[in-house]
């Protein structure tokens, strides 16, 4: 596992973004783990988060793209932080773009924030996590309506590695449905592999009990 992935797992734990216990997801599933990207709230946290995204995007998609699109609302700070990090780490200026929930008809008009999209733009979409693919369902037509863009792929922070609407994971379903690549900074499989039995700040986050519950969860919902 790459060093930045190991650091990112510890970073999620330190920021209290990744937690273990008993959680009920929007889908109604009872999960032994939960990720809340809304817990990244400080300047230092967002700076580091942008760097992890930039490294993962560079690893998977290289430099051959023009725009980083973050769907409203959580995708807005993600796209801003990551374009800054990409410039600092790789010396390439990537434009950021996000959508509004409602179209604005005065001042900076339209449905988009940040850069306008242009025909021929290559776009990477950035999100926190995707379980059902619903946000892409909303985002894809917005992007295609603005300009003749090529979507290079999607990058999320955590691949939960569980079924979406059918028998495949949400990321696999998105790839099959829309025809672009999908990726994650880390997968839940990598998280479990790294944290199982490992003590961080005097606490073992994935002990045998949590591991058994994670195994049971994936026996029911895994791919």
Active site residues: 104, 106
Burial class (CB in 10 A: 0-12, 13-18, 19+), 147: middle
Cβ pair 152, 180 in contact under 8 A: yes
Task: Supply the DSSP string of 66-118, one letter for each residue.
Answer: -EEEE-TTTHHHHHHHHHHHHHHHH---PEEEEEEEEEE-SSS-EEEEESPP-
């Amino acid at each position: 596992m790459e060093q930045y992935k190991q650091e990112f797992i510890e970073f999620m734990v330190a920021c209290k973004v990744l937690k273990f216990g008993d959680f009920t997801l929007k889908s109604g599933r009872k999960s032994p783990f939960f990720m809340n990207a809304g817990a990244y709230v400080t300047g230092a946290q967002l700076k580091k988060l942008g760097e992890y995204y930039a490294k993962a995007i560079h690893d998977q998609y290289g430099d051959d793209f023009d725009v980083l699109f973050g769907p409203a609302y959580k995708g807005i700070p993600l796209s801003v932080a990551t374009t800054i990090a990409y410039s600092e780490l790789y010396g390439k200026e990537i434009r950021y773009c996000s959508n509004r929930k409602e179209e604005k008809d005065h001042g900076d008009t339209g449905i988009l924030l940040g850069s306008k999209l242009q025909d021929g733009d290559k776009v990477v979409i950035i999100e926190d996590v995707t379980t059902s693919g619903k946000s892409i369902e909303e985002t894809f037509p917005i992007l295609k309506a603005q300009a003749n863009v090529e979507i290079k792929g999607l990058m999320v922070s955590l691949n939960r590695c569980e079924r979406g609407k059918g028998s495949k994971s949400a990321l696999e379903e998105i790839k099959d449905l829309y025809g672009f690549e999908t990726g994650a900074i880390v997968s839940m499989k990598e998280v479990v592999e790294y944290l199982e039995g490992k003590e961080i700040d005097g606490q073992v986050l994935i002990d045998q009990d949590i591991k058994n519950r994670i195994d049971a969860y994936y026996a029911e919902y895994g791919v």
